[in-house]
Amino acid sequence: MPDQNLHDQQKQDREKYSTLIIQSTARNKIIIAGPGTGKSFTFKKFLETKSGDNLAITFINNLAYDLQKDLGESAESHTFHGYCKKLLHRISVDGIDTNFHYYPKLPLLIDSDSAFIGVNLEKVDEAFHTLVEDERIVFYLERGNYYNAVSHSDAVFRVLKYFQADSSLLPTFCQIVVDEYQDFNPLEVAFIDELAKTSPVLIAGDDDQAIYDFKNASPKHVREKANDYEKFELPYCSRCTQVIVDAVHDLTGKAKTLNKLQNRVDKKYFCFLPDKETDSIKFPKIIHASCSTHTSKAPYISKFIEKEILTIPQEDIDNAREKGFPCVLIAGPSYYTKQIYAYLKPKFTNIDYPEERDKEIDVFDGYRFLMKDRESNLGWRIIIECADIKQKAKIIKEVHGNAERLSNKLDDDFKNFHLAIVAILEKMKASEQITAIETSDVTKSCGHTFEEIQKILGIEDGAELGARETNEDTTVSIKITTINGSKGLSANYVFLVGMNNTNSVVVNGSRKTLAGFPFDKNNPSDNEICQLIVGLTRTRKKCYLISNARFGAVYGIQKSVFLDWINSSRIDSINVNADYFKNS
């Protein structure tokens, strides 16, 4: 039976923490809050006390979408690049006009330009992130101007420079709220600092979840603000069970004894039992599944995950669908997740596994830009990049440094062929009938199936749409991603794969290394510690940590040292081998 006095006390305490934030008159405030502690709820209550226009900013799309859903009309909610994109459509920035193209893969295209033109563009993303204004930035912006296009970091950079040049142009809000501040790099920190000149700011962050060092983010920024701003806490977690919260304390405590997470902001973190006691009792342990092998013939990790998914009660599947999060989250290195996806795909219909499409230029994007403007430099550049043209380097060099249209350099037959594809796409978008030959031409040229093209163009089959609306999907929803990709997500059941130390062996005369987690068992990085905290705290009900002793041709793999950081009383271990599947 629940301890009603404890429940009542926790409810009162949580209300006090939230009220302190809402009633504070400090201009600039920071909330240090762990995962699942109700930041969005507090943001909304706080913003409801503000009568003017409010702005909410975070880093990734998942979180921006959740903020928008949770905050409703109390604030406009954006990612950094989403907000800057909106501003660039309104303000006059040198080099691009307000009808610019937003193209996330622009860095890939400009990197290709740099190779043809002979410019070293190495680590240009880092230059943007850390505000190192050198010839790389100059070249990148010049190419962006030529294409009248922006991407993520350069969009923020352009707007920042615009405001720094004239602070009187800064927008003014009744209140700005900023989430996930530990994920911000110097560019984004500088942007928030500019906005804070004309608007009060409420920041939320948690240096225990700082996992984006690959984009030059650093937990030092949230730690500095914890000293400079009026500091508050939200310590009660309504997402995770007691065992997950306890495991987080184990990890941060062990890190402290090893002099890791130095200068960490001390914070309270409790399981909010009024919401989580039932799940905590039902799922009192973290499961460590120690798989003897994982090969194409014996995919034990995939088989184990399948077996566990099939035991999930329908009520948990329905609960996830109703609340709008995946029922199952599988996270880990791509060399595991790709194989797991391939195994599960034929067995489950509702799987989301975002492939790494952003790493390749897609010719279809070029056609889409040409549908808006037949002379689009960006559209033709994308098509050139994807085509087999011997004169590619010569064409790029000839238009560099001048305003001549790229299309002027192209052969008429080449142009007419691709403009014919654009015309077919326009007919499709207008729901006009196209011939079998046109269908063949457009699918071959675009590299997508006819159905995929329809979807990208925003064409839905009315009958299918109606069926989806009337027949509710009751299947288990599965999301597969990396641990970094899991940020902003949660699920009832979480499987963290690849819980092994790094292993290096010689196979058939060549050395094979399977990068582990952590990479160096004797010296785990702060980023890896935070990744594990993030992975664990995606869990709403049950968490599985999966290691394996063999992966393909690599034998003798050890379980991750991180498993020893968690108190053994919190873990149930399962040996997943041939006998396990025979007996189950």
State pLDDT tens for residues 94-139: 899 999 999 999 999 999 999 999 999 999 999 999 999 999 999 9
Cα 548 to Cα 302, 523, 571, distances in angstroms: 11, 21, 17
Q: What are phi and psi of 492, to 5 degrees?
A: -65, -40
Contact (CB, 8 A) for 333 and 482: yes
Give the model confidence (pLDDT) of 58-79 as tens digits: 888 877 888 888 888 899 999 9
Q: Are 335 and 377 in contact (CB under 8 A)?
A: no
Does residue 493 sit in helix, strand or coil?
strand
Is the pLDDT assigned to residue 147 strictly greater than 70?
yes
Full strand arrangement of the beta sheet holding 230-234: 76-79, 54-58, 175-178, 201-205, 28-33, 230-234
Query: From CA 574, how far away is CA 582, in angstroms rounded?
Result: 14
Over residues 153-168, the pLDDT tens digits come to 999 999 999 999 999 9
* Verdict on whether the full-model pTM lies above 0.75: yes
Residues 184-214: tens digit of each pLDDT: 999 999 999 999 999 999 999 999 999 999 9
pLDDT of residue 506: 65
Give the model's pLDDT for residue 359: 65
Question: What pLDDT, on the 0 to 100 scale, is given for residue 140?
Answer: 97
E strand or H helix at 58, and its extent?
A: strand 54-58
Give the H/E segment covering residue 177.
strand 175-178
Q: What is the pLDDT of residue 437?
A: 94
Q: Which two tokens stand for residue 547?
A: 């290691």
pLDDT over threshold 80, residue 532: yes
Over the stretch 381-394, which tens digit does the pLDDT of each residue have? 999 999 988 888 99
Instruction: Work out the average pLDDT over 138-147.
Output: 96
Tokens describing residue 374: 């037949």
DSSP H or E segment with residue 527: helix 526-536
Task: Give the confidence band of 472 by pLDDT, cuts at 50, 70, 90.
Answer: low
pLDDT over threshold 60, residue 489? yes
Taking the CA of residue 460 as centre, how many other CA atoms within 13 Å lie in the half-sphere pointing to its CB?
8
Q: What is the mean pLDDT of residues 16-29?
A: 96
Torsion sign, CA atoms 179, 183, 186, 188: negative
pLDDT per position as a tens digit, 342-368: 999 999 999 999 865 556 899 999 999
**Distance of alpha carbon 118 from alpha carbon 501, whole angstroms:** 41
CB distance 528 to 579 below 8 Å: no
Predicted local distance difference test score (pLDDT) of residue 309: 98
- 538 has a pLDDT exceeding 90: yes
Residue 465 has pLDDT above 50, yes or no: no
Distance (Å, whole) CA 248 – CA 533: 6
The residues pairing with 571 across neighbouring beta strands, listed in sequence order, are: 286
Residue 526, pLDDT > 60, answer yes
User: Which residues partner with 548 through β-bridges?
Assistant: 291
Of 1-5, 315-319, 440-444, the range with the lowest mean pLDDT is 1-5
For residue 329, which phi and psi values (nearest 5 degrees)?
Answer: -125, 125
Q: Tokens standing for 481?
A: 């991603």
Is the CB of residue 438 less than 8 Å from the CB of residue 432? no
Band of the pLDDT at 468, cuts 50, 70, 90? very low
Helix (DSSP H) and strand (DSSP E) numbers for the chain: 24, 19
Neighbours of 254 (CB within 10 A): 19
Give the torsion through C-alpha atoms of 341, 342, 344, 350, to 10 deg. Answer: 60
Cα(482)–Cα(480) distance, rounded to whole angstroms?
7
Mean pLDDT, rounded, for 548-565 = 92
The span from the CA of 217 to the CA of 222, in Å, is: 10
Question: What is the C-alpha to C-alpha distance for residues 579 and 393, in angstroms, rounded to an integer?
Answer: 60
Query: How confident is the model at residue 390, as a pLDDT?
Result: 82
Q: Which residue has the higher pLDDT, 570 or 468?
A: 570
Would you state the structure tokens that stand for residue 72, as one six-digit string?
Answer: 């409703």
pLDDT at 507: 64
Is pLDDT of 405 > 60?
yes
- Separation between Cα atoms, residue 556 and residue 315, nearest integer Å: 40
The 10 Å Cβ neighbour count of residue 172 is 11
Residues, the chain: 584
Question: Going by DSSP bridges, is the β-strand pair 539-548/491-497 parallel, antiparallel, or unpaired?
Answer: parallel
pLDDT at 92: 86
- pLDDT of 420 reads 95
44 contact partners, CB below 8 Å, separation of at least 6? 70, 71, 72, 74
CB 14 within 8 A of CB 232: no
Percent above pLDDT 70 for the chain? 95
Percent of the chain at pLDDT exceeding 90: 83
Q: Does the pLDDT of residue 463 top 60, yes or no? A: no
Do the beta carbons of residue 46 and residue 232 sit within 8 Å?
Answer: no
